[in-house]
Structure 1
Amino acid sequence: MPKSDASIDIESSDESKGKAPLIGDAKEKTSGLKKVMGICDFVLRLAAIIAALVAAATMGTSDETVPFFTQFFQVQASYDDLPTFRFFVIAMAVLAGYLVLSLPFSVFTMLRPNIVILRILLFILDIVVLSLSTASASAAAAIVYLAHSGNPNTNWQAVCQQFGDFCQKVSGAVVASFVAVVFLMLMVLLSGFILLKNAKK
């Protein structure tokens, strides 16, 4: 009987030794996944900064002067003629500034993935700037559509035939802003996934 007891103890100790590395491997995989998601968050922020800066710079430099009947009469089209485009430039500048300021926090959460409070703060602020950028991009897209197609019901004439370069620039700015919006959406989804992973711990 004593021999059987000893064998049972040896087997149980072997089983416990076999389980410990499995738990350690799971923790290492989880921490590695969090670091990968943190790197993805940082890269998405950089990409969104570039897209927002391109959108703001393109819209801010969009102006064109064309002759009206003769060279003595000229008509100018500029982004600051429309409040919607001014709001667009301000919103994209605010977005780029916020993302630049959020980069150190993103790096900190990547190095310390267990700090949930900072991740929640970034998640909330990302949603706020996502709403702002989506609103400005959508409003600018509506104006660009009217500039290209016009609206006969409201006597809004299409002006892109006369101001081709101006319309091309503002259209490019709107496209860049929607690219930034897509990056922001991916950031919010990624942050939500990270928070969900932390909640399941």
Structure 2
Amino acid sequence: MSTSEAGAAATVIPIDDVARHHGAAGKAPVTAAPPPAAAAVPVAAAAPAATTTAPRKIGLPFFRQADRGSRCVALIDFVLRIAAFGPTLAAAIATGTSDETLSVFTQFFQFRARFDDFPALLFFMVANAIAAGYLVLSLPFSFVIVLRPQATGLRLLLLVCDMIMVALLTAAAAAAAAIVDLAHSGNLRANWVAICMQFHGFCQRTSGAVVASFLAVLVFILLVIMAAFAIRKR
């Protein structure tokens, strides 16, 4: 066989197939990476915890814890106003009905003691009547403060009015006390005789009225102190 025939009978292998064959033999088989394991999820995060919501309490303004002290002071204020009404009204009535007539020897000679004969006692009766009327009118405002302790404006209004009543009643009771003391003791230097030795009923009524009025003054002073304390606390 000649060389030309041998070359013609040889099998021709393309270069691409040889390169592909050597490349497949040199490379290691690539294995696919396993999928990443799923991260462990905590049980607490996976299953949402059941939250228990406490029942919502409806807070009424009347039962609020912060207002209990102020409400107690307002309630005492309301009770004291009712208590002060009695002495002021009793003092006004007792003074207005203090009238006594004394007969000497015969019915033609009579001496009469009446409250309007003394301007101080007249002023005393009017002042106590005004104070009694004011106490009645102030009761609704005091009751509103019991329901709403945060109403500082009403407290301030009652405080100013109470101070006016303290000044009025103190002046009236002091003037009436001077007249009653003069009626009991008299004045030797001025030659004023004590009339209570004859006019017992008149002196008893006026003396009791003065004592009742001073009690009302003390109650008003307590009202002023409590109102000032409550406003300062606010």
Regarding TM over 0.5, the answer is yes
Match of 1:87 in 2: 123
1:21 maps to none
- The runs of 5 or more residues in structure 2 that have no matched partner are 1-62
Which residue does the alignment assign to 1:167?
203
Match of 2:99 among 58, 63, 74: 63
CA distance in 2, matches of 1:95, 1:66: 32
Q: Which residue pairs with 1:48 in the alignment?
A: 84
| Structure having greater relative contact order (Cα 8 Å, sep ≥ 6) | 1
Sequence identity percentage: 51
Offset of 1:69 from its aligned partner? 3.0
Q: Over residues 40-81 of structure 1, what are the superposed CA-to-partner deviations in whole Å (9 max), with x where a residue is unaligned?
A: 000110011111000000111011111123232111111111
Q: Does residue 1:121 correspond to 2:157, yes or no?
A: yes
Q: Please, what TM-score do these two structures have when normalized by structure 1?
A: 0.83
Deviation at 1:154, TM superposition (A): 1.6
Report the AA paired with residue 152 of structure 1: L
Structure in which a larger fraction of residues adopt helix: 1
User: Matched residues in 2 for 1:152 and 1:60: separation?
Assistant: 29
Describe the shift of the 1:160–1:117 C-alpha distance in structure 2 as closer, same or farther (beyond 3 A). Answer: same
Distance 1:34 1:161 in 2: 51
Output the CA distance in 2 between the equivalents of 1:182 and 1:30: 30
Amino acid at match of 1:153: R
1:33 aligns to 2:48 (yes or no): no
Distance 2:105 2:219 in 1: 45
The residue type paired with residue 185 of structure 2 is: S
How far did 1:29 drift? 4.3
Deviation at 1:175, TM superposition (A): 0.7
Give ranges in structure 1 of 5+ residues lacking alignment: 1-26
**Root-mean-square deviation (Å):** 1.2
Query: 2-side partners of 1:29 and 1:51: how far apart?
Result: 35
Please state how far the C-alpha of 1:156 moved relative to its aligned partner: 1.5
Among 83, 98, 116, the residue aligned to 2:134? 98
Q: Counterpart amino acid of 1:150? A: G
Question: Which protein is bigger by CA-based radius of gyration?
Answer: 2
SS at match of 1:154: coil
What amino acid is aligned across from residue 125 of structure 2 in structure 1? V
Matched to 1:73, the amino acid is: F
Q: Distance in 1 between matches of 2:89 and 2:73?
A: 24
Partners of 1:166 and 1:60 in 2: CA distance? 11
Task: Tell me the SS of whatever aligns to 1:152.
Answer: coil
